[in-house]
A and B are shown apart, each in its own frame.
Chain A
Amino acid sequence: MSQTVFEKSIRSRPVYGLLQPRAGTAHLCVADGEGAGAICDLFAKAGAEAPAMLARTHIIYMPSSANGTDDFASLEALGAAQCHRSPSFWAAEPRLKKVLADAHMGLQVYLAGTETLIGLAQRDVMEAGLPHDAVQTEHRGSLARRVQCVHCKGITENVTTDPFICSHCGLNLFVRDHYSRRLAAFQGVNIDAEEPGNVPPAVERFK
């Protein structure tokens, strides 16, 4: 079970676990913000195996785009073969895609941090040909959501309130739990379509 407590939800909503060390020819860790803690816990669980595992580990890390948390120092201290800090997921993505393209059989993938980071990285892993359940995920940190407006198709990052205003078309959207792994996004639907202007107050649902 995840450390984060999630509300009961529908079956398209992703679920997350706890990272566990697995035997592999190489290890790729992608994390943001508080996800650094999950990576440190992963190697603590590996115990005596940790040094050998770290010698074949590549860590890609970025601060949380939701709240700015930056725990890179704790990851650097692990002493992995490669440990890279990017300013954002989009800056890290070309590197991630290269690592996945160069990967051999036996690569273990560990994703930790916000739902947005896990979703985006998992999409790249899937596109590289690994099945989506061949990676482990662990949620830590912000629950801010990446939401696609079903009307204009624009994606608004780090949505914390429901409803919110689409950053592209300006419609008032309510946030569904319906989630697309292909888009790595939840769905936003116009809340006042039937009665324009009748918008309930925004509530902070995704801290």
Chain B
Amino acid sequence: MGFEFNNETFRNDFTFKNSERAIKRFPFPFDRDDYMYSVNMEPHVPGRPGSVFEHAFDVDEHYLAEMRDRDLVLKEDPLRCQSLPHMELAGWDLLELIMESKARDYPHWFELHKTGNRWTWINRPMQIEQTFTFLDPSTLPYGPMEYITRQTQGDFTLQDQRDESLWIEAGMVTTQADWSLDFDIGMSFHEWHAPVPLAHEKGVFDRALKFLLKLQHGAPVRRFNWTHTVDPLLDTSPENYPKWGPTRTEITMENLGQRMHLRVELQTLWRLPRSNAIAFPIRCYLIKYDELVTVPKWARRMHRVVRDIHPDLAAYKGFLRNRDLMTAWLAQYDDGAPTSPGWWPED
């Protein structure tokens, strides 16, 4: 693939950084110069070669470091991975989806061999070879959802569908933008989205739910979400908010380029075949402002989005405190030139 896995950290000394290749393929989420909530879903079909859309589950240079960080989070707080008892079948569906996708898309790293229900999974980057019986949890070291999501970048939730709603009833959540699986597990679609401002009134969640209830197997969809994070901290959990909250007061014009990160979630939604549940991978990509502004179009557009965003959204996303500073810093890179539509860096 022409890259190596980075040896880097998402805590303490924060050695995380993006290579030039990773910057060029960063999923910049703004296709225009302003932002408001919308049901911005599109089919999750293979995209441009080399982009994060090329494959069903993107594996990038941060893979091994992210898996090490996930393991540390789970050691500190096992409640970040939970599955209500009736969700085990959905966990097997997810395991199958990821193993088949990765073995197809990255055959030099992943292999899946099946003899009836006797499966052998090879994950070369993580040096794992596991033979197990599909649908028999006693043959894996963890439940099926935990097993495969310890080997896959991004958070995952599994939604059961009943009573004309979706119910968040399993998840692996260690790279979250300040929401608690432990608190939200068991809630309906409208309940777990309840704290989001402005979007309910715009009917965004009613439309999104209506759409998702009809989601078909084999036709996944995707959307972006985004926020900002001080330092490349994957685990911005509410549980640990007293530990990372103070960093928001440490931003200055001098350190902003290194410490302020745009945090983008590439969210995909998959109907699962046996359980009829919906899998919701939430893949987090981080980019520091110094890296972001190496792409002139993104620098101009980021400035305009941050400057003009509704204050309720800036508050909900947690950067209202630093918004003026961010705007001033980004203004250095905005010459006022028009930007082309769409998010690709060179178009």
Residues of A bordering B, CB below 8 Å: 10-13, 131, 148, 150-151, 153, 171, 176-183, 187, 189-190, 193-196
Taking CB atoms, residues of chain B closer than 8 Å to A153 are 79, 182
Q: Is the CB of A190 within 8 A of B241?
A: yes
Closest to B169 in A: A182
Q: Whole-angstrom distance between the alpha carbons of A194 and B249 in the complex?
A: 7
Q: Is the CB of B242 within 8 A of A193?
A: yes
Judge whether B195 is part of the interface by a CB distance below 8 angstroms.
yes
Judge whether B194 is part of the interface by a CB distance below 8 angstroms.
yes
Judge whether B183 is part of the interface by a CB distance below 8 angstroms.
yes
Main secondary structure of the interface of A (DSSP, over half): loop
Q: Is the CB of B192 within 8 A of A151?
A: no
Partner pick for B238 among A150, A181, A194, A196, CB 8 A cutoff: A150
Q: A12-B191, A194-B248 are in contact. Are A183 and B241 (CB under 8 A)?
A: no
Judge whether B187 is part of the interface by a CB distance below 8 angstroms.
yes
Partner pick for B246 among A150, A176, A193, CB 8 A cutoff: A193
Q: Is the CB of A150 within 8 A of B186?
A: no
Partner pick for A11 among B186, B200, B241, B248, CB 8 A cutoff: B200
Closest to B195 in A: A178
Q: A178-B183, A180-B187, A189-B241 are in contact. Are A194 and B194 (CB under 8 A)?
A: no
Q: Whole-angstrom distance between the alpha carbons of A13 and B11 in the complex?
A: 35
Taking CB atoms, residues of chain A closer than 8 Å to B186 are 180-182
Q: Is the CB of B195 within 8 A of A195?
A: no
Partner pick for A12 among B194, B238, B239, B248, CB 8 A cutoff: B194
Taking CB atoms, residues of chain A closer than 8 Å to B101 are none
Taking CB atoms, residues of chain B closer than 8 Å to A178 are 183, 194-195
Interface residues of B in 20-76 (CB under 8 A from A): none
Taking CB atoms, residues of chain B closer than 8 Å to A182 are 185-187
What's the nearest-Cβ distance from chain A to residue B337, in Å?
36
Taking CB atoms, residues of chain A closer than 8 Å to B245 are 190, 193-194
Q: A193-B242, A193-B245 are in contact. Are A148 and B183 (CB under 8 A)?
A: yes
Judge whether B190 is part of the interface by a CB distance below 8 angstroms.
yes
Taking CB atoms, residues of chain B closer than 8 Å to A189 are 238, 241
**23 contacting pairs across A/B (C-beta < 8 A):** A11-B200, A12-B191, A150-B238, A151-B239, A153-B79, A176-B195, A177-B194, A178-B183, A178-B194, A179-B191, A180-B187, A181-B186, A182-B185, A183-B183, A189-B238, A190-B241, A193-B242, A194-B246, A194-B321, A195-B246, A195-B249, A196-B242, A196-B246
Partner pick for A187 among B163, B183, B240, CB 8 A cutoff: B183
What's the nearest-Cβ distance from chain A to residue B167, in Å?
11
Q: Whole-angstrom distance between the alpha carbons of A78 and B263 in the complex?
A: 61
What's the nearest-Cβ distance from chain A to residue B76, in Å?
13
Closest to A187 in B: B183
Judge whether B6 is part of the interface by a CB distance below 8 angstroms.
no
Q: Whole-angstrom distance between the alpha carbons of A196 and B190 in the complex?
A: 33
Closest to B196 in A: A10
Q: Is the CB of A151 within 8 A of B194?
A: no
What's the nearest-Cβ distance from chain B to residue A88, in Å?
25
What's the nearest-Cβ distance from chain A to residue B171, in Å?
13
Max chain B C-beta neighbours (<10 A), residue from A131, A182, A183: A182
Q: Whole-angstrom distance between the alpha carbons of A81 and B238 in the complex?
A: 48
Taking CB atoms, residues of chain B closer than 8 Å to A193 are 241-242, 245-246
Q: Other than the known A182-B187, A193-B245, what 11 A-B pairs have Cβ atoms closer than 8 Å?
A: A12-B187, A12-B192, A148-B183, A151-B238, A153-B79, A177-B194, A180-B184, A187-B180, A194-B245, A194-B248, A195-B249
Taking CB atoms, residues of chain B closer than 8 Å to A187 are 180, 183
What's the nearest-Cβ distance from chain B to residue A123, in Å?
10
Q: Is the CB of B249 within 8 A of A151?
A: no
Q: Whole-angstrom distance between the alpha carbons of A54 and B180 in the complex?
A: 44
Closest to A190 in B: B242
What's the nearest-Cβ distance from chain B to residue A173, in Å?
11
Q: Whole-angstrom distance between the alpha carbons of A178 and B196 in the complex?
A: 10
Taking CB atoms, residues of chain A closer than 8 Å to B163 are 131
Taking CB atoms, residues of chain A closer than 8 Å to B184 are 180
What's the nearest-Cβ distance from chain A to residue B117, in Å?
31
Q: Whole-angstrom distance between the alpha carbons of A34 and B187 in the complex?
A: 29
Closest to B243 in A: A193
What's the nearest-Cβ distance from chain B to residue A164, in Å?
16
